[in-house]
Structure 1
């Protein structure tokens, strides 16, 4: 017997509000603490990103780093799931840098907040690893909440 998935929501569609998603984040942080929640959301994002790359047919494609932003933005940007706008991807030495805007994780946060963008970082990370076939250590380095021009994710090869 094969497993089947439930159909998409026929009345409300695929998407729910940022307010609800942020409530999940805050609730999990309250339960597990900030560090525990960061592990959970980063891992969940990595699984989503890996699956997304597979769904898009780009897993293992090893496209040039400069093209990754366009691929990801089509999937998770304004014309995709609206998780974040992916605006740039490039190499900085051996590191790969992915720049984003309007991440769901930071929506509604006060300027100066120290919140990290864990789920979006994970989604980009998982997609990057699936596309390149390489393993990385990912970090959210710059934040619009702390004076950055974007939310920057830096991936260092392992």
Structure 2
């Protein structure tokens, strides 16, 4: 969507990481960390499902190894800039998605316990919409805690 098609004709479709992080912190302050995690993960899943529908990929069963490219185009540098999706692969029955530069990690100090709940949810929702399968998702690595990426593992249910 271009700026002229936007509901915000002067500023366009994007806002700052700083403002998004303020929303996250405010919701965490109101609902607590666990309550906010549920809300943001679910909101991310809805976004992921909608994104896949917008791209016409619902039920397309894109090979897992190609998923990173599709997701990165949509939410990476050339998309909404939520996160760079750098790798997608399977490990046994699990699907692994690696990301960099996530919104949740922006401005966080090394060692922070912050998790990428919205990004996890967005990738999770996209994966389920593309594959038609149900998964249980979790973040297993974080760049904030010494990981090489923010890594999400999805186990089929």
Q: TM-score, with normalisation over the residues of structure 2?
A: 0.96
For residue 39 of structure 2, give the secondary structure of its aligned residue in structure 1: helix
Instruction: Give the aligned partner of residue 138 of structure 2.
Output: 139
Structure 1: 5+ residue runs without aligned partners? 1-5
How much has 1:48 moved relative to structure 2?
Answer: 0.2
Alignment of 1:67-86 (within 5 A): 67-86=66-85
* Alignment pair present for 1:107 and 2:106: yes
For residue 80 of structure 2, give the secondary structure of its aligned residue in structure 1: coil
How much has 1:8 moved relative to structure 2?
Answer: 2.2
Relative distance call for 1:7 and 1:14 in structure 2 (3 A) is closer
* Alignment pair present for 1:89 and 2:88: yes
Instruction: Give the aligned partner of residue 126 of structure 2.
Output: 127
For residue 130 of structure 1, give the secondary structure of its aligned residue in structure 2: helix
Name the CA distance, whole Å, in 1 between partners of 2:153 and 2:39.
Answer: 19
Following superposition, which runs of at least 4 residues in structure 1 exceed 4 angstroms of deviation? none
How much has 1:7 moved relative to structure 2?
Answer: 4.5
Q: TM-score, with normalisation over the residues of structure 1?
A: 0.95
The Cα RMSD (Å) is: 0.9
* Alignment pair present for 1:50 and 2:49: yes
* Count of aligned pairs between the two proteins: 153
Structure 2: 5+ residue runs without aligned partners? none
Instruction: Give the aligned partner of residue 3 of structure 1.
Output: none
